[in-house]
Amino acid sequence: MESFQGVITDIIFSNETNGYTVARIKSDDYVEVITGIIPGISAGENIEVTGDWSIHEIYGRQFVVKQYSVVMPTTETGIVTFLSSGVISGIGEKMATRIVERFGTNTLEIIQHNPEKLLEVQGIGAKKIGPIVESFRENLGVKNIIISLHKFGISPRICIKIYRKFGANSLDTITQNPYCLIDSIVGIGFKMADDIASMCGIEKNSPFRLEQGVLHVLKNAMNDGHMFLPENILLDEATRILGVEYEVIESTLYDLALDRKAIVEKYGDFNIVYLNRCYHAEVDVCSNLIELISTPVKPLGIDLEKELENFQEDNDILLAENQKNAVRAAFNNGVMVLTGGPGTGKTTTINTIIELLKKNREKVVLAAPTGRAAKRMTETTGEEAKTIHRLLEMAFDADDRVIFIKNDEDPIDADVIIVDEASMIDIFLMDNLLKAMKSKTRLIIVGDADQLPSVGAGNVLGDIISSDMIEIIRLNEIFRQAQESDIVLNAHRINKGKDIVANKEGTDFFFINRTGDSGILSEVKSLVSGRLNRYYNLDSLKDIQVLAPMRKGDVGVTNLNSELQEILNPRKNEWNELKLTKRTFRVGDKVMQIKNNYSKEWENERGTNSGEGVYNGDIGYIYHIDKSSKEMYIVFDEFKIYKYSFDELDEIEHCFCTTIHKSQGSEFPAIIIPISWGPPKLMNRNLIYTAVTRAKNLVVIVGEKKYLDYMISNNTVNDRYTNLGYRLRKYRTNNMLELDY
């Protein structure tokens, strides 16, 4: 192997996940290309590399790096280049030149050990010294940590977080107890910490490992939607994962309970175990709901019955009795739930409630769990609706954890809050929403409890409804216009576990029987590529949405996106496409934003209008790819153009096909649902019901009837370990809430 030193002139490619880098390095007046695992290097840095030369069949001569180290420059020219490269805060080329002219080759020694001497340089005052020194020392510390921790598989981005948390003690801290990273650093879980511990020689019976292993099982359960686990199930799973004796795990659980890191409660004849945060979220939601229920509501300033009659006359509608009851309940209760399936008049009822609340001079705020759901709510009500996260003014703390500005000390300014698509709200979001509500603010919860439960933990809407502690209005009458739709008919049949009615003349609901994944895939491609367009005058990209139950397999989301991209947006030229490791983006591709980004800026094509915010579930189209600046432009909502750097593309995924889960809260003119074999956990009634209710005008299911029949009969999706309903019922039984903190 050979070794040489040089200055990095530019980074051609860098993968932050695994550290693989391609860069140019200048050494002895020659510029060479280096490749390999070289995490954390930046242009302007002086490094020493060890490795071997190779000849790439396309890119030619390259140096494959096996080891590298950062070397501080020793020449005046090298020091100026290093200081002005951008790695040191507050120093540009002119300032770097002045510093080196004053201190020469001793410059870096001065900055590190005698920084007060920098006051001798024109343009540097006392306030500027601190940031320069801090940036210099952090740069050196981070580089050393990146090099030291790379063998553990920790990415440079995570290394920076570790250094900022633990500083110069980072390496010692990790080698002594890598499990401390789990609660301190976003992005490190039990498996990575356990792998590091194994490499560091930490024993399997280490108390650090045992405690985090038990908590890991509870966190996995939370990620699967559970609020708690029965004690025996927790102990069995932790024993299996950790590979130690059952009695050792049992003892560890009691230690966690004493430290209040886990909460053990008696439930009937057995114990149940919560993560601390799950327990307090559930208890707090229960407590705050009870407070809202118990607080007297604002007296009426209108004749409600008369205004109800006037509203119907003015809008030429006739409300069903349950719809009128919903309006009355909205005025008479601190909390009420409005639930019902498609075609039962939820939208009309909400609009009536809003109109009459405004007549009563109430300040009404509308919200929904996702951006797509909030937009639908805005469209159907004519009033502004926000995501719950935006309503709560979501932000991030120094450790990249979500926080909310609105809370019990700075509550939401509203008399009434109406929340739609409530089946999607998890326990933590509901907890934060309730904490940010004034005690006299009324809450109207709207949702379809038969749709998929929240992705996050809990079954909030279902538990509230089952408790019978809160006023529930169920809309169950299907209106005449909705009765004409087989989409509505079949949604209700599916919900009752009945077989679908399809393929009638003039219907809007079809089932196409195809066997095997290849047959299903071929049929879906045929439908999207023109058949539906010709018969229904649909735009394949904008009007037709393919919804798949799962991601994997030939008829899963990943493969369908690849197959449909070739049909709907085939390759035109190399400038219009960007190839990444596993994905190819093209101008014209249909894509979805998969993270809320409230600060993402947009402007229209002419630059005459602008704003900010793009939300999880928003669907857009790639407008332009600029490889020279490594930027992609995506248009959402017909005219909002957002700029993404290439390293932000983890926020974007293709959306020719998406999961049924991701479609929740959205509505599409036409949907195609491929149905093949899948795990029973996914193939359930709630999933197919949710998919069907996403369609406005047309549903086409393609697949094997036996799997569709299985989904309709499998009604087990809501089997989650949750206790909110029990806590609310206990209050009703005992007439007091027993909170055990």
Binding residues for ATP, by number, are: 343-347
User: Is 706 strand, coil or helix?
Assistant: helix
Cα–Cα distances in Å, from 326 out to 350, 353, 475, 656?
9, 8, 9, 39
How far is the C-alpha of 230 from the C-alpha of 721, rounded, in Å?
8
| Other Cβ atoms within 10 Å of 264 Cβ, number | 18
Q: Tokens at residue 692, please?
A: 């069907």
How far is the C-alpha of 404 from the C-alpha of 379, rounded, in Å?
27
The H or E element containing residue 506 is: none
Q: State the DSSP code for 67.
A: E
CA angle 242/247/252 to nearest 5° reads: 65
**CB contact burial 679-699 (16+ within 10 A = b; e otherwise):** eeebbbbbbbbbbbbbbeebb
Please answer whether residues 353 and 329 qualify as being in contact, where contact means their C-beta atoms are separated by less than 8 angstroms. no
How far is the C-alpha of 185 from the C-alpha of 206, rounded, in Å?
21
How far is the C-alpha of 332 from the C-alpha of 326, rounded, in Å?
10
How far is the C-alpha of 666 from the C-alpha of 704, rounded, in Å?
26
How far is the C-alpha of 368 from the C-alpha of 378, rounded, in Å?
10
- Spell out where 192-349 has E strands: 228-230, 262-267, 270-275, 335-340
**Please, which residues have CB within 8 angstroms of residue 57's CB and are 6 or more apart in sequence?**
none
How far is the C-alpha of 494 from the C-alpha of 501, rounded, in Å?
10
Place of tokens 């019902």: 340
The annotation places the binding site at 343-347
Q: State the virtual CA torsion across 115, 119, 122, 126 in degrees, nearest 10.
A: 100
| Other Cβ atoms within 10 Å of 705 Cβ, number | 14
**Please, which residues have CB within 8 angstroms of residue 312's CB and are 6 or more apart in sequence?**
318, 319
Comparing C-alpha atoms, which of 617, 660, 620, 659 is closest to residue 640? 620
How far is the C-alpha of 65 from the C-alpha of 47, rounded, in Å?
11
* 643 burial level (CB within 10 Å; 0-12, 13-18, 19+): middle
Comparing C-alpha atoms, which of 392, 374, 387, 317 is closest to residue 349? 317
Phi, psi torsion values for 349, nearest 5 degrees: -65, -45
Dihedral sign, Cα of residue 105, residue 107, residue 108, residue 109: positive
User: Is 343 strand, coil or helix?
Assistant: coil
